Structure 1
Amino acid sequence: MVTFPNEGSPLLPSVNTQSLQARRGSVHQVTFSPLPRGTGEGDSDHFRYPLTPGLRLGRDTTHSSTDDEDGDATVGIHGSIDRTREGNDGPVASTWKRLATRLRYYVPIVSWLPEYTWSALSHDLRAGITVSCLLIPQALSYGSLAKLDPINGLYTALIPNLVYGIFGTSRHLAMGPEALISTLMGTIITDYQHTLDPNLTDSAPDAFLSAAGVARVVCFLVGLITFLMGIFRLGFLDSILSKALLRGFVTAVAFVIICGQLIPLTGLNRIPGDLPLHASPVDKVRYVVAHFQQSHWITLGISVSCIAFLVGCTLLKRRYRRVGWLQQIPEILVTVVVTTVLSYVLGWQDHGVAIFGNVEARFPHPTLPRIPEPIFYKDLLTSAMLISTIGIVESIIIAREYASKNHYSVSPNRELVAIGLANLAGCVFGAFPAFGSLARSRLNDRAKARTQMSGVITGLVVLVTILFLLPCFHYLPRTVLSAIIFNTALSLLTKTPRELRFLYRVGAWHDLTLFTLIFVSTMLVSVEVGILLAVILSLLTVLQRTTVPRITILGRRTGTKDQFVPIPDYPDSVEHVEGIMVVRIEEPLFFANTGQLQARLKRLELFGDLATHPSERARLPPASAVVFDVEQMPDLDASALAILREIVESYHLRKVTVCFVHLRPGLFTAFERSGLSEKVGHGLFFTEVPEALHYIEQSRSFTSVSSGGEAQVDTDNETTPY
């Protein structure tokens, strides 16, 4: 009951008590609205869930209902519903209505396009053009990074954006090529080409896949894997990689990209060298240092100038975040345009600077991927799974981040379906795997994109570039593309120092160790080994924490009679119950987490704390009774029932009493069917821990008195279990 302070009380010094009393005495009419009816086959005239306990949803003539201003039926205080406005649709109309509802869900463009406005178009148009100014130079650069023609990067930016705009649920996720994926793609193509026998490829060049053919196959496999993961509702798997593992891998890949771009940035790729085919990043740095005097100085000057300009623009944008016009400057596009003009005017090609050259401007010709040689099935499938893992994790994280920021929801499963379809369509048109980009999605958000139309507009701008603007890139120095890749790799490192400081500050030594392990393995061995190790360690960590049951020992808080709290949380203010172990099970029990249950109960009995090392001496005497508080155990399976039965039997062999507290009615039924309730004893299930302890104390007194033959226990004060 709510009570009001007296007049003049310091709690309410300025409140008019009379007005409060008047408010309390007033009666307000409460109106309930009926639950919306769906279009599923299981719908009927009655509601599945009542609005409130005891509320009748039948026709009531006492209180009639009315329609509100929007035409929705309302329910009176007795729950009467006015259904006079409902139409009597036939089965055909109902079927079409249900199909339309499902279509709006699975093809989001059907939902938002009919409600599209000119205002939203103006925002999406600006955002799409802004993102394309960043995407087009990146796509040209990432095409080279993937060991393909630069135009393949544009194909990867074109088709996935158009398809994702139809099926995607995120309004801000910007699809296209990514630095990490492009690096992995380049490694796959290089390994494939150098595994083939040169004599066979020279004699029958059409019998083997080209670099673009390998990219098509990998893109198809990535799309198929991602699509099937969405169909089978595996969107939750984006959480298997911890932030520490993912950050360690991203940091290592950033260093791999930086070290790999040092050679084209200095122009050393023009001279013959003795660099091994599978040289590590350390080997590449050593090579650049040893041959630095042979660098092409004009190329090096262009590279340093471009990197300095890009880094300077990034720092300025970070420094002045609230300056809108500064945030909209496409520094990468400015770099490309300025260096192309200077290259043409100053004739850099005549001075030995490698330029972009002629590229045929054409729409990608649709071609189905060719089946590779059987010996490459395993390698290509493994590589596709690794690329899918990285791309899915990054894309889902980006989609969720900007959906939360802009107050709308995304479906991870439908996102996987959309990304999978985008790659399946992209592989037909010469694309390599495409996923969401953090930098482009951030730019899309800053440009105030309203719907997925911004991605469609970005794809259309890329199409115009492919058909009409590619000749404008003829004089673009290739070292500029390397500088763009170098700057992108630097941007991947911006969060690393902050996250490392955080892990050190909170003492997350386990995460720091995993970070170091992933970083070293990726740098010294290969990118594939690094990501494979990251996935394996993540799965092992999940399995380890899943298979350990969460249990804790309870003690009575000092000075109280019925307050029981975890002893490890309050070591100085709780009392251990002599000879009785009170254990709380804090999660559902199933086959995976009950294997270690008996061993952990033994450790609790000996030490009272699971953090104590098993090599130490026992701190507590053997328990004569065990009380299981299972209030936080909502479910258990057959394996857990069998193991609990074994645990109870082992305690009974030691003459230890076993009680259960807060057991749910549904679980009690399972206990009865499995025979566990009979093993425990039908009188040993209680509603509160103090009741169980009182019963145990009474049993002890009865046993000691009966053994002495002197008296019997007064049963008037005995607590009766249920």
Structure 2
Amino acid sequence: MNLKKYVPILDWLPNYKKEWLKGDLGAGLTVGIMLIPQGIAYAMIAGLPPIYGLYTAMIPQIVYAIFGTSRQLAVGPAAMDSLIVASGVATLAQIGTENFIEFAILLAFMVGFLQVVFGFFKLGFLVNFLSRPVISGFTSAAALIIGLNQLKHLFGVEIMRDNKIQTLVIEVFRHVKEINWITLIIGISSIFILIFLKRLKSKIPAALVVVVLGIVLVRVFHLEQYGIQILGEIPKGLPEFTIPKFEKNTLIDLFPIALTLSFIAFLEAISVAKAMEIKHTGNKVKPNQELVAIGLGNIVGSFFQAYPSTGGLARTAVNNQAGAKTPLAAIISSLIVGITLLFLTPVFFYLPKAVLAGIIIVAVYSLLDFSTPKELLKYSKIELVILITTLVFTATIGIKEGILIGVLLSLVMLIYRSTKPHFAVLGQVKDTTFYRNVDRFEGLLNTTEDVLIVRFDAQLYFANISFFKDKLEEFVSEKGSKLKLIIIDGESINSIDSSGVSMLKELIHKYKNKGIDIDFSGMKGPVRDVLDKSGVIENIDYSNCFMSIQHAVEAFEDRKINKQIERKYFEYIKQTNR
């Protein structure tokens, strides 16, 4: 067994080059510093105490460095996943309680277990059921919910936490008069500083800058005395080894959210990892191994009080820009978080929650997807409807419900399209052997009254055989009584089932009785095998199967000429016998 395939650290670590260390060290330090305020902020989104965000920023990274295939992916807590944790676990326990924390940690184990199972059985393809419109609608809705939930910290008022956008908006308007203006100024200033530093595109960790400024302001001016909410005490020390509490009823209740989160987390990670793969051609990302690596990170993390984690876009981009060459950068980032847990947590006591709210709002703004709806408006209004429906359901009813309705609508669209695929009548491009759709090249193609050439751009199976028959009948009627041959171009038919076979036999018999032959051209090997074994080709004769449309047309012309010669010959015989 090739261990390097399943434990990639055995491949890159023995071959480590000295010149890589500078990039890995710089990237590790940068991302590690970035992870501290980010981990604290995302724990707040998840409804957990800040310390759990730091645990999640530390443990899964080390595991991923051992088993992951991307050399730049930075694993840790993520905004969207944190929101899903909060919304899912809040249905079972009140946010902030011991039970809530226990369930969030158990959820990490369940998500990791599912991801490892999916990876082991090579089920990474299942993530394809989350189509682009569904992902876009869901992430935009999640961004709005996360942002609105932070307004209570930005305004310094008590707004009830919720995952329904309409409830949050009503709550915000109810408490507008209670705004703490100093809190609001700190929060808005943090947002402007973050945006300004990002636009400078410097390597300065913007989040750390506003964190330091916020702490200094509170300490120097004693702003906590003016109602400014601060983070308070964060426990010191590394996470202890604890076994999650496995209870049957809790596992059953958490399963739907675990299944949803396992797919969402993997999708986030693999999309970012693939983006890095394009920039680093020597590094091949393996989706199923990525599932295993992220899953093991979540499993091991759950034993050290971490909640579900995944690869983050912003962290990975910073990791790459800072020069990361190998997962050693992730290990260094974890060490920075570990040092913070051991010695630096008291520093964050006076950190204003308004600063964290600013960090979160700026981070989730990038999740708002404006480009996809604009694109879909131009070329796919059906998919735009799916996007908007997913967004509305997610934002107003619930995260699970939004994803479910989006996936169901995508599947309905897929099934509908497969029942009515593209079916074209072809004509010959003048002075060539090429054949194209007559509707797209009107007046530019050669067609004849006695030959109908059609191309069916899909598999031929039970769901679309009625459409095939009806459409072909329509094309035949348009041709009129002079039609003598139908050529079915099979270049785009990838497969055919028993219903398709039965339908073809019926058509061959039907049109033969009308004096119309059927030829096949360009049939793919697997389809040809089915037609051969099922007796379809036998019904039309092997001489009516061709490599190309042109060969079929030439053979028909030859048959016409031969028939004309035969007819003239018999007429000549009749005349001479008189």
TM-score of the aligned structures, taking structure 1 as reference length: 0.73
Aligned identity (percent) is 32
Match of 2:447 in 1: 576
2:549 and 2:86 map into 1 onto residues whose CA distance is: 63
Aligned equivalent of 1:404: 278
Matches within 5 A, 1:179-578: 179-193=79-93, 210-269=99-158, 278=162, 280-317=164-201, 327-372=202-247, 374=249, 376-407=250-281, 408-493=283-368, 496-504=369-377, 506-546=378-418, 548=420, 551-558=423-430, 560=431, 562-578=433-449
* Deviation of the 1:457 alpha carbon: 1.0
Can you list the C-alpha shifts for 1:181-225, whole angstroms capped at 9, x where unaligned? 111111122211259xxxxxxxxx9xxx71121112211111111
Contact 2:154/2:358 (<8 A) preserved: yes
Residue 471 of structure 2 corresponds to residue 603 of structure 1 = yes
> Distance in 1 between the 2:463 and 2:457 partners?
16
CA contact (8 A) 1:106 1:414 kept: yes
Aligned-residue offset at 1:413: 1.1
Stretches of structure 2 that go unaligned for 5 or more consecutive residues are 574-578
Q: Which amino acid aligns with 2:439?
A: P
Aligned equivalents of 2:399, 2:257: Cα separation in 1: 11
Computing the radius of gyration from Cα coordinates, the structure with the larger value is: 1
Q: By how many angstroms is 1:680 displaced?
A: 1.5
Deviation digits for residues 652-707 of structure 1 (CA, Å, limit 9, x no counterpart): 35443111224467765543332222212233223443443354456667879999
- State the 1:311 CA deviation: 2.1
Q: 1:684 aligns with which of 538, 544, 547?
A: 544
Identify the residue that residue 42 of structure 1 maps to in structure 2: none
**434 and 647 in structure 1: CA distance in 2 versus 1, 3 angstrom threshold:** farther
Q: 1:651 aligns with which of 511, 523, 536?
A: 511
Query: Counterparts of 1:662 and 1:289 in 2: how far apart (Å)?
Result: 66
Q: Aligned-pair distance for 1:573? A: 0.6
Query: 2:387, 2:406 within 8 Å by CA — same for their partners in 1?
Result: no
**Which deviates more from structure 2 when the two are superposed, residues 692-701 or residues 653-662?**
692-701
The CA deviation string for residues 51-87 of structure 1, in whole angstroms up to 9 with x for no partner, is xxxxxxxxxxxxxxxxxxxxxxxxxxxxxxxxxxxxx
More helix by share: 2
Contact 2:108–2:301 (Cα < 8 Å) also in 1 = yes
Runs of at least 5 residues in structure 1 that lack an aligned partner in the other structure: 1-98, 196-204, 318-326, 609-617, 714-722
- SS of the equivalent of 2:439 reads coil
Shift of 1:154: 0.8
Q: Within 5 A, what are the aligned runs for 1:78-227?
A: 99=1, 102-193=2-93, 210-227=99-116
CA deviation after TM superposition for structure 1 residue 289, in Å:
2.6
Secondary structure of the corresponding residue to residue 366 of structure 2: helix
By how many angstroms is 1:120 displaced? 1.0
Indicate if the aligned counterparts of 1:172 and 1:445 stay in contact, CA closer than 8 A: yes
Q: Which residue, out of 609, 613, 621, partners 2:480?
A: 621
Q: Tell me, yes or no, if the aligned pair for 2:277 and 2:285 is still in contact at 8 Å.
A: yes
Contact 2:187 2:354 in 1 (8 A): yes
The one-letter amino acid paired with 2:338 is: L
Aligned residue identity for 2:512:
H
Q: Which amino acid aligns with 2:353?
A: R
Residue 148 of structure 1 and its aligned partner are, at CA, apart by 1.1
Q: Deviations over 1:324-354 (max 9, x none)?
A: xxx2101101111221122122222222222
The structure showing larger relative contact order (alpha-carbon pairs under 8 Å, at least 6 residues apart) is 2
Any idea what SS the aligned residue of 1:628 has? strand
Counterpart AA for 1:255: L
Tell me which moved more, 457-466 or 680-689.
680-689
* Counterparts of 2:272 and 2:61, CA distance in 1: 16
Mapped partners of 1:671, 1:562: distance in 2: 26
Give the 3-state SS of the residue equivalent to 1:268 in structure 2. Answer: coil
What displacement does 1:263 show? Answer: 1.6
More displaced 10-residue stretch of structure 1: 278-287 or 357-366: 278-287
After TM superposition, the structure 1 = structure 2 runs for residues 36-75 of structure 1, keeping only pairs within 5 Å, are none
After superposition, what is the alpha-carbon deviation per residue over 1:211-246, rounded to whole angstroms, capped at 9, x for unaligned? 121112211111111111111212233433333332
Count residues in correspondence: 570
1:340-373 CA distance string (max 9 Å, x none): 1221222222222222222221221222222235
Distance 1:709 1:291 in 2: 100
Listed one character per residue, the Cα deviations across residues 285-313 of structure 1 (whole Å, up to 9, x for unaligned) are 23323322212222222212212211222
For 1:384 and 1:690, locate their aligned partners in 2 and report how far apart those are by CA, in whole Å.
Answer: 56
Query: CA contact under 8 A between 1:262 and 1:285: conserved in structure 2?
Result: no
Matches of 2:463 and 2:403, distance apart in 1: 30
* C-alpha distance in structure 1 between counterparts of 2:419 and 2:93, whole Å: 44
2:493 and 2:527 in contact (8 A); partners too: no
2-structure distance, mates of 1:673, 1:373 = 52
1:171 and 1:449 in contact (8 A); partners too: yes
Please give the secondary structure, in 2, of the residue aligned with 1:553. strand
Measure, in 2, the Cα distance between the counterparts of 1:279 and 1:433: 19
1:396 maps to amino acid:
I
**Cα separation, 2, equivalents of 1:312 and 1:268:** 27
Tell me if structure 1 keeps the 8 A contact 2:33–2:336: no
Q: Measure the CA separation in 2 of the matches of 1:116 and 1:454.
A: 12
Deviates more, 1:546-555 or 1:231-240: 546-555
* Inter-CA distance 694–104: structure 2 relative to 1 (3 Å threshold): closer
- Please report how far the alpha carbon of residue 249 of structure 1 lies from its aligned counterpart in structure 2 after TM superposition: 1.7
Q: What is the Cα deviation at residue 536 of structure 1?
A: 2.3
Q: Cα–Cα, structure 1 residues 712 and 508, in superposed 2: closer, same or farther, change >3 Å? A: farther
Partner Cα distance (1:223, 1:450) in 2: 26
Question: What is the Cα deviation at residue 546 of structure 1?
Answer: 4.7
Residue of structure 2 in register with 1:40 after alignment: none
Letter in 2 for 1:541: M
Cα gap change, 1:105 to 1:354, in 2 (>3 Å): same
The separation in 1 between residues aligned to 2:549 and 2:380, in whole angstroms, is: 36
Displacement of 1:397: 0.8
Structure 2: how far apart are the matches of 1:232 and 1:637?
27
In the other structure, the counterpart of 1:95 is none
Residues 693 and 602 of structure 1: CA distance in aligned 2, closer, same or farther (over 3 Å): farther
Q: TM-score, normalised by structure 2?
A: 0.90
Q: CA 1:625 to 1:712, structure 2 compared with 1: closer, same or farther past 3 Å?
A: farther
Paired AA for residue 438 in structure 2? I
Matched letter for residue 307 of structure 1: I
Tell me which amino acid in the other structure corresponds to 1:390: I
2:450–2:484 contact (8 Å) kept in structure 1: yes
Instruction: Note closer, same or farther for the CA distance 1:543–1:133 as it changes in structure 2 (3 Å cut).
Output: farther
Q: Does structure 1 retain, via aligned residues, the 8 Å contact 2:69–2:289?
A: yes
